[in-house]
Amino acid sequence: MSGRPTSPIRKFSGWRILALAIVTAALSVPGQTLGVSVFVESFISDLSLSRDAVSLAYLMGTLIGALGMPFVGRSIDRVGVRKAMTWIAVGFGIGLVFMSGVQGFVSLAIGYGMIRFLGQGSLSLVSTITVTHWFDRRRGLALGIMATSVSALMALGPIGLNLVIEAYSWRVAWIVAGVIVWLVVIPIARFGIIDKPALVDQLPDGGPVDGEIALPPRKSLTRSEAVRTRRLWVILAASGATGMLSTALNFHQISLLGEAGLSAGEAALMFAPQVIGSSLAGLGFGALADRLHGRWLIMAAMSLLAAALLMVNFLNSTSDILLYAILLGAAGGASRTVGSALPPRWFGTEHIGAIQGFGTFTNVASTAVGPFGLAVVYGITGKYGPALSLAAAIPLVVLVAAAFTKADES
């Protein structure tokens, strides 16, 4: 049977599975905005494309990639995370190698589509679902640890990619990224991942602790049932707002922080303070997700995002830039943790791949809009701050919607 090792395992395997899923999720970084942003200036100069053209290719590729996410989610439910992760890793590596050979707008858009679909979307999704199946009472904590650790590892991505670019070229950097994915993710998927605890006669969380009564499993909603609930749309709105706006900021970070006086290398290093914010928020929101109603978590995450957007107008010193980076990282860490923890808690796990696949579709699609929209505004006004201040209204609207979402509301 798929996902079952040949020998029985008595010690709870969930924490080991969590560690492996952290590694696989972190290696999606070349397909994430964090990694892609390092290549933007090279695309503009070497491919003779404008900033608007590169952003439009990113938009088109990301939208195309988003279309496949509901199918991926259903497939994960059907074949299991182990087999799905293996094939996703194979495809993602191919996409990264393809990026090394892009020659113009069309091939760049195709490459973006491949790495956004297989990296940002599929590899992140299957890694998260892997952890979701292994934890229940401590799911929020586990996903918080995952979000924190993944953010910390991803922060190394732009630095490592930039070093390869400076030492060799941006084309070599894409090939190196693809080979690393093949060498690390495929063995983990084939030999380390176990689909579900039941396959090795275990229970989520390792079973109840002494004196605790095991609760009956929650009723699982199908995707069609979940999309008819108000709660799912609030989750999607929060995730979409964070995806769209944080992606826009990260995609243009080199240029945006260049206005504040930073060099390209210094601007790339500012991804590191984001990790601090993301790590703190991931752990904090993960622990709270097991205790508080989801609406409070969504409201807090949206407050952090609005604060980061408003902060762009006040980047006058190093301390200002550091605070901005920490706020932006915290908003992302909070949103990712909440978006991963609430769906299985509210809708069950039997169809979680299909539900999370639909959520990933909306999130990936939202990330396509932000970079292009911000590039257009910058091309017209020559400034980032005013447009981002207006955009702060988006998370505030989601905050209000979350405030009226009740625990038993459908």
**314-333 pLDDT, tens digit each:** 888 888 889 999 999 899 88
pLDDT at 395 over 90: yes
More confident residue, 34 or 203: 203
The one-letter code for the residue type at 35 is G
Residue 1: pLDDT band with limits 50, 70, 90: very low
Query: 164-208 pLDDT, tens per residue?
Result: 998 999 999 999 999 999 999 999 999 999 998 988 888 888 876
Residue 270: pLDDT band with limits 50, 70, 90: confident
**Does residue 358 contact residue 224 with C-beta atoms inside 8 Å?**
no
Question: 370-407 burial, b for 16+ CB within 10 Å, e for fewer?
Answer: bbbbbbebbeeeeebbebbeebbebbbebbebbeebee
Residue 321 backbone dihedrals phi, psi, to 5 degrees: -65, -40
What does the DSSP assignment read for 41-57? HHHHHHTT--HHHHHHH
| CATH architecture for residues 14-199+219-403 | Up-down Bundle (1.20)
Residue 99: pLDDT band with limits 50, 70, 90: very high
- What pLDDT is stored for residue 218 in this prediction? 61
- What pLDDT is stored for residue 397 in this prediction? 93
Alpha carbon of residue 3 to chain centroid? 25
Residue 157: pLDDT band with limits 50, 70, 90: confident
Asked which of 239-243, 288-292, 294-298 is least confident by mean pLDDT, the reply is 288-292
Domain map (residue ranges) of the chain: 14-199+219-403
172 to 116, 178, 264: CA distances (angstroms): 19, 10, 19
- What pLDDT is stored for residue 23 in this prediction? 95
Nearest one of 375, 257, 369 to 312, comparing CA atoms:
257
Query: 214-262 pLDDT, tens per residue?
Result: 455 567 778 888 888 888 899 999 988 998 888 888 878 877 888 777 8
CA neighbours within 13 Å on the CB side: how many for 388?
31
Query: 370-384 pLDDT, tens per residue?
Result: 777 787 877 777 777
pLDDT at 48 over 80: yes
pLDDT at 125 over 60: yes
Residues 119-129 have a mean pLDDT of 90
Nearest one of 303, 266, 298 to 285, comparing CA atoms:
298
| 359 token code pair | 């959520």
Q: Compute the CA torsion angle 367, 368, 371, 374 (nearest 10 deg).
A: -100
